[in-house]
Amino acid sequence: MSATIIDGKELSAKVLDEAKTEIKGCMIRPSIAVIQVGDNPASNSYIANKEKVCSSVGIYFRLFKFEDGTPELSIINKIKELNNDEYVNGIMVQLPLPVQYNEKRLLNTISNAKDVDGLTDINVGRFVNGKKSLIPCTALGVMRMLDEEGIEVSGKDVVIVGRSKLVGRPLATLMLNRDATVTNCHHLTKDLAEHTKRADILVVAAGVPNLITADMVKKGAVVIDVGINRVNDALCGDVDTAEVAKKASYISPVPGGVGPMTVAMLVENVLTCYNAKNSK
């Protein structure tokens, strides 16, 4: 048995083509503003990719980069300025921030209507309570991949390894909303394999290279690898893909799986903000 590969690059290209067509019909270009603090190399890479993708579909991309040590109030004032800029549709703060900054305070300065990462307390609260809200992009991307492959979630045992606010927690809520039975595992879970071996759908977002091996996966399971790790100058996920693919029915690769879908969902969230503003 060899798993079907869920091609995130192909699906993201489809999503982006649809977005590009929609944007061509916009009287004013949608725009996104990104706040970066410091010079984290990984953040630089992620931002460059976001800029490339957004620009390719016609979204105006604006980067506001602050040196590490910039007073927090200066960054807050810039976010408030962008909140009031009618030509800015989406705002995001690139994470992680340097340790001395209050992440929650900065994120909650963003207007809920422009919070394309879905991380303000109000958007999180609305989402958990089943109300219309903006939702973190990676979690949305995972659900879109499952939907595209026709993989049913209702009634399935779903195990999510990781409980971050960007992936594990919002994804658990999305799965619950689809009537899945959901287990969230984390670094204090006593016997990880005991949980992963019963998963019909296993999503791994732990940031640990090759954490999930073939003996930890049920035959025929759907395995979604969200991890992005650099080992010996090469990217790999949290799943031992070559071996797990021999047991799984579907598997997403790293690179080329969830990563491209995350940026595609960011584009969709910018369009959601743009359309909400212009429908009023």
Q: Give me the active site residues, please.
A: 50, 94, 117
How far is 279 from 90, CA to CA, in rounded Å? 16
Beta-carbon neighbour count of residue 21 at 10 Å? 11
- Return the DSSP state at 195: H
Q: Residue 136: is the preceding peptide bond cis (ω within 30°)?
A: no
Contact call for residues 218 and 191 (beta carbons, < 8 A): no
Identify the helix (H) or strand (E) that includes residue 73: helix 72-83
Contact call for residues 25 and 58 (beta carbons, < 8 A): no
How far is 105 from 117, CA to CA, in rounded Å? 15
For helices 8-24 and 41-57, the axis angle rounded to 10 degrees is 50
How far is 160 from 176, CA to CA, in rounded Å? 12
